[in-house]
Amino acid sequence: MIGIIGGSGVYEITQKADKCVEKLVKTDYGEVEVSILDIFDKKVAFIPRHASGHSIPPHKINYRANIDALKTVGVTKVIATNSVGSMNLEMPPGSFVIPDDFLDFSQNRVKTFFEDKVVHIDVTEPYCSYLRDVLNESGEVILGGTYVCTEGPRFETPAEIKMFKMLGGDLVGMTGLPEVTLAREREMCYNSICIVSNYASGISENNLTIDEVFEMVAEKELDLLELIYNFIKNVDDSLDCICNHALDGAEV
């Protein structure tokens, strides 16, 4: 099964499905509402990351419950969407970027499923290369870039953005971690479509507002949905991938 974790601009995907069944999935970390969709004769499990009405802030999202719920219903390949600010002038507002690395500056989030035993997963390639290739075939995207995750819910300061750029960051957001590493711990392929909504603080000529984020996402909504639909058409959710064996050699 294919999993989609959607932020702004993706909620409408349930309206395009041939069939939609709402399911309350119980996990050890909480209950999660999952929409099971039939799209192009494939099963797709959709979770709105911020819940209905975009009501949960990024630092309060139950990332473990969301990932575990997708695993429970049989998902093997996960695509997430993340609204981001750009620190790279070659990644302008309106572009879709597929990251290949991250810097984690989130602070107060539980970042592993393994709290009672020692497990060291490899993140040399944190985002699935197979899903990256499928996304590249499915629409106009920019391949590669380092995603910086901050705690939020505030935007970053110009000094922080300057530091992130010095460390090699290209994009900044609040929702990408620990999602990507939790998916690896559950041995699911995972990649992200980063929707660039604005230039980051100190690069943008204006003060940052959530309105401009939502405005850009609304402007790119149809393109984003087309990219996701093409991805669903093109992806082989039964393909065996190294991501599906991430715990081999990781447990002490």
* Model pLDDT for residues 180-220, shown as the tens digit of each residue: 999 999 999 999 999 999 999 999 777 878 788 888 888 99
- Spell out where 117-239 has E strands: 142-143, 146-150, 171-173, 189-199
- State yes or no: pLDDT of 179 exceeds 70: yes
Q: In the prediction, which pLDDT does 9 show? A: 61
Q: In the prediction, which pLDDT does 157 show? A: 96
Say which CATH class 2-236 falls into.
Answer: alpha beta
- State yes or no: pLDDT of 106 exceeds 70: yes
Instruction: Tell me the percentage of the chain whose pLDDT exceeds 70.
Output: 97
Please enumerate in sequence order all residues whose Cβ is within 8 A of that of 32, keeping only pairs 6 or more positions apart, or say none: 24, 25, 47, 62, 65, 66, 68, 69
CA distances from 223 to 13, 107, 197, 217 (A): 12, 33, 14, 10
CA dist., res. 91 & res. 69, Å (int): 33
pLDDT digits (tens, 9 = 90+) for 135-146: 999 999 999 999
Residue type, 185: E
CA dist., res. 150 & res. 188, Å (int): 24
CA dist., res. 3 & res. 192, Å (int): 12
Inter-residue contact 166 to 102 (CB < 8 Å): no
Q: In the prediction, which pLDDT does 16 show? A: 73
**The model's pTM:** 0.95
Please enumerate in sequence order all residues whose Cβ is within 8 A of that of 198, keeping only pairs 6 or more positions apart, or say none: 85, 86, 93, 204, 208, 212, 213, 216
Contacts 24+ apart (CB under 8 A), 152-160: 152/57, 152/58, 152/59, 153/57, 153/58, 153/59, 155/85, 155/201, 155/208, 156/85, 156/200, 156/201, 157/201, 157/202, 158/201, 158/202, 159/202, 160/201
Instruction: Give the bridge partners for 146, in sequence order.
Output: 101
CA dist., res. 88 & res. 137, Å (int): 23
Tokens of 13: 């995907």
pLDDT bin (cut points 50, 70, 90) of residue 161 is very high
pLDDT digits (tens, 9 = 90+) for 52-87: 767 799 999 999 999 999 999 999 999 999 999 999
- State yes or no: pLDDT of 166 exceeds 90: yes
What φ, ψ does residue 54 adopt, rounded to 5°? 50, 50
What φ, ψ does residue 13 adopt, rounded to 5°? -60, -30
- State yes or no: pLDDT of 236 exceeds 80: yes
What φ, ψ does residue 107 adopt, rounded to 5°? -120, -45
pLDDT digits (tens, 9 = 90+) for 143-158: 999 999 999 999 999 9
